[in-house]
Amino acid sequence: MTAYIIRRFLYAIPILIGVNLITFLLFFVVNSPDDMARMHLGQKRVTQEAIQAWKQEHGYDKPLLYNREVGGIAGLTDTIFFEKSVRLFAFQFGSSDAGRDIGYDISQRMWPSLAIAVPVLLVGLAFNISFALFIVFFRATYIDFGSVVLLVAMLSISSLFYIIGGQFILGKVFHLVPISGYDTGLQAWKFLILPVIVGVIGGIGAGTRWYRTLFLEEIAKDYVRTAQAKGLDERLVLFRHVLRNALIPILTGVVVVLPLLFMGSLITESFFGIPGLGSYTIDAISNQDFAIVRSMVFLGAVLYILGLILTDISYTLVDPRVRLQ
């Protein structure tokens, strides 16, 4: 087990190197630092001196891959590739193009993001599983049919409309919760209710439909028919047999969804004005702060790979048939 986990972590290294190379190519080779400088300083009539000054200020004035002037080992380290890309492996994100420390910002903004993503995940999971069990309990009836129609309809609505609708109805018409904003510490809860509700409702369509399929697949298996033939109560069959066995794909699904939560809160956070990582990234995109976007790409990849490894480990914990070699 330990050996397996260690090996998985080692596998992650070439992938992260690949991610790093892709971002490096995108940010420094497709467009040279000169282009970036020109973009930041404004389009027209930028002097070469201004570009040089900007590059120097942000540390983009070095050669891309190898510094001939310094030479030797130092020639490899005193480059843009080493300074901006390799350092990411040590989680040294450096400073943003606006001059702030990215690592510090991330450590600060992580918590509001989690404050939304975790409740959305847990409440959504509980609700979707219950709803799916309810539908499966009434399978092949009009309740089943109606619910599936409802789910497909909910699935077809853009997440933007859930957010706009939630803000409009709960925030503006009924004045139940503040429309957007954030507060420090425990005061934040009233700002979190609306995003969490919206997040959960937005996920019902896809989530419940998927769980329903899983349960139906499980319920068609022989052991369930045996249990039913023995005269076991339908509720017991559902909870003791179907739910437990269907939990395995649900669990892996949840871990796979984790990086998507990261993306989902991108929109939610900026709509609700929550100072999390999502709105951080959005701000960086609209301010064209490449340093932050680059760091977030790397961080996202790390989290995703971590999610994959956790999935595999969780398999062994819940399913005794799975053995990792």
Binding site for other proteins (CB under 8 A): 14-16, 18-19, 22-23, 26-27, 30-31, 35-36, 38-39, 43, 152-153, 155-161, 164, 167-168, 172, 259, 262-263, 266-267, 270, 281-282, 285-286, 288, 290, 293-294, 296-297, 300-301, 304-305, 308
User: Minimum distance between the CB of residue 240 and other proteins, rounded to whole angstroms?
Assistant: 25
User: Minimum distance between the CB of residue 134 and other proteins, rounded to whole angstroms?
Assistant: 21
Nearer to other proteins (CB atom), residue 23 or residue 252: 23
Nearer to other proteins (CB atom), residue 30 or residue 229: 30
Instruction: Give Cβ neighbours of residue 58 (< 8 Å, ≥ 6 apart).
Output: 97, 291
Burial 22-44, CB ≥16 within 10 A → b, else e: ebbeebbeeeebeebbbebeeee
Whether 7 and 325 have beta carbons less than 8 Å apart is answered as no
Nearer to other proteins (CB atom), residue 43 or residue 47: 43
Nearer to other proteins (CB atom), residue 36 or residue 136: 36
If one counts every other C-beta atom within 10 angstroms of the C-beta of residue 205, the result is 19
User: Minimum distance between the CB of residue 290 and other proteins, rounded to whole angstroms?
Assistant: 7
Instruction: Give Cβ neighbours of residue 244 (< 8 Å, ≥ 6 apart).
Output: none
User: Minimum distance between the CB of residue 194 and other proteins, rounded to whole angstroms?
Assistant: 14
Whether 198 and 123 have beta carbons less than 8 Å apart is answered as no
Nearer to other proteins (CB atom), residue 113 or residue 281: 281
User: Minimum distance between the CB of residue 21 and other proteins, rounded to whole angstroms?
Assistant: 9
In DSSP terms, 101 is beta-bridged to 95
User: Minimum distance between the CB of residue 297 and other proteins, rounded to whole angstroms?
Assistant: 5
Whether 154 and 204 have beta carbons less than 8 Å apart is answered as yes
Tokens of 319: 């399913």
Nearer to other proteins (CB atom), residue 25 or residue 74: 25
Nearer to other proteins (CB atom), residue 67 or residue 252: 252
Distance CA(175)–CA(177), nearest Å, equals 6
Most distant pair of Cα atoms in the chain: their distance:
85
Burial class, 276, CB count within 10 angstroms (exposed 0-12 / middle 13-18 / buried 19+): buried
Instruction: Give Cβ neighbours of residue 201 (< 8 Å, ≥ 6 apart).
Output: 154, 162, 166
User: Minimum distance between the CB of residue 70 and other proteins, rounded to whole angstroms?
Assistant: 29
